[in-house]
């Protein structure tokens, strides 16, 4: 099985410099162009059997452009949404810091400001990754469109790392990560590929 893990394109929150998380912003024009280039690159390199996507707008817009290129429908999964950041969603960095300062020393199962706990976030990644792997055949090529925080949790789950690991996996706009599962062995083929954006860099 081949899994293509894809982060959405640039969103309006990136321009506004606000906390995004569950705030439901759309792609910018640059983000849409990033996704068009991504879709062309993926179409030239892979034949997808299925696309799963977060139900947040920036991810659904990314998945739809990818799906249109491959002419396949999208399966939307709420468990692929970004970390639930509760009351700070959509707030500027300054306002969030003033109203809802960071609370250190929380137990892994605990949370503040109507947010999701670390354990709940990791469980959500474990659950959706297990579902996707179990319901698709060994030879399938599957795309998963999600968000930076969730992609990190999916990495931790895929590699069976502890929930409190300090390992961080970088995810740029429309970054592409290829994983494979063969003979019960899990491989990271490549991480944070942005080759498709070369055209955009040349144009800008």
58 is in an annotated binding site: yes
Cα 200 to Cα 192: distance, rounded to the nearest angstrom: 17
126-164 tens-digit pLDDT: 999 999 999 999 999 999 999 999 999 999 999 999 999
29-52 tens-digit pLDDT: 999 999 999 999 999 999 999 999
**Which positions are catalytic?**
8, 82
pTM, 2 dp: 0.94
Q: Would you state the pLDDT for residue 200? A: 67
- 149 contacts 82 by C-beta, under 8 angstroms: yes
Q: How far apart are the first and last CA of the chain?
A: 37
Residue 168 has pLDDT above 90, yes or no: yes
Q: Would you state the pLDDT for residue 128? A: 98
Q: Would you state the pLDDT for residue 202? A: 43
- Residue 20: CB atoms within 10 A of its CB come to 24
Residue 55 has pLDDT above 80, yes or no: yes
Q: How are strands ordered across the β-sheet holding 176-182?
A: 74-76, 50-53, 141-146, 2-7, 176-182, 185-193
Query: Domains of the chain by range and CATH?
Result: 2-203 (3.40.50.1240)
89-118 tens-digit pLDDT: 999 999 999 999 999 999 999 999 999 999
Cα 8 to Cα 186: distance, rounded to the nearest angstrom: 24
- Residue 202: CB atoms within 10 A of its CB come to 7
Residue 201 has pLDDT above 70, yes or no: no
Cα 183 to Cα 185: distance, rounded to the nearest angstrom: 5
């Amino acid at each position: 099985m081949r899994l293509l893990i894809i982060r959405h394109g640039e969103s309006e929150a990136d321009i506004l410099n606000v906390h995004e998380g569950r705030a439901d912003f759309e792609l910018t024009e640059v983000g849409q162009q990033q996704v068009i280039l991504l879709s062309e690159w993926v179409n030239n390199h892979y034949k997808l059997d299925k696309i799963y996507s977060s139900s947040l707008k920036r991810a659904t817009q990314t998945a739809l452009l990818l799906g249109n290129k491959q002419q396949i429908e999208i399966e939307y999964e709420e468990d692929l949404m970004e970390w639930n950041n509760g009351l700070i969603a959509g707030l500027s960095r300054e306002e969030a810091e003033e109203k809802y300062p960071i609370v250190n020393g929380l137990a892994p199962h605990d949370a503040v400001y109507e947010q999701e706990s670390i354990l709940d976030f990791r469980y959500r990644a474990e659950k959706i990754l297990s579902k996707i792997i179990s319901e698709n055949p060994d030879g399938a090529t599957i795309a998963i469109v999600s968000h930076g925080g969730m992609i990190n949790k999916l990495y931790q789950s895929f590699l069976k790392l502890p929930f409190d690991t300090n390992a961080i996996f970088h995810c740029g706009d429309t970054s592409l990560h290829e994983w494979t599962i063969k003979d019960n062995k899990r491989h990271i083929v490549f991480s944070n590929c942005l080759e498709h954006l070369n055209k955009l860099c040349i144009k800008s």
